[in-house]
Amino acid sequence: MDQFMNEAIAEAKKGQAHGGIPIGSVLVREGVVIGRGHNKRVQKNDPILHAEIDCLRNAGRIGSYKNTVLYSTLMPCYLCAGAVVQFGIKKVIAAESSNFAGASEFMTAHGVEVVDLDLDSCKQMMSKFIHDQQHLWLEDIGQ
């Protein structure tokens, strides 16, 4: 598996270890991680602090995002996909979309290359979380 997806998975596990939702993300430019984050909605009582948003925030102001790749353990939702499109990120690699389809069509329609790795380990991690913490999951996806 790609080293950058492994780093996103480590972020997801970190978030879950701190009582949050196990979704992690890293932003990569020219083979270097320049931002990383995990879902902190529960920990920070912040409804928009999804993994991808935390990752972008931690990357800081980098000027152009056009030569970056965003890795996420789950297909980004419309909030995060909107940030991808807004900042001109041209490629998103998601570990899975079985547990949540996300906004891949939205990103593709806006010129973003979307890759779904369909990783069993990430599908199982999210599936177990959804089963064990259904109320948090439904809150996270706005239901």
Catalytic residues: 52
64 Cα distance to chain centroid: 20
CA angle 8, 23, 65 (to 5 degrees): 55
3-class DSSP assignment, residue 71: strand
Q: How far apart are CA 112 and CA 65, in angstroms?
A: 12
Distance separating alpha carbons of residues 143 and 70, to the nearest angstrom: 26
Strand partners, 70: 27, 92
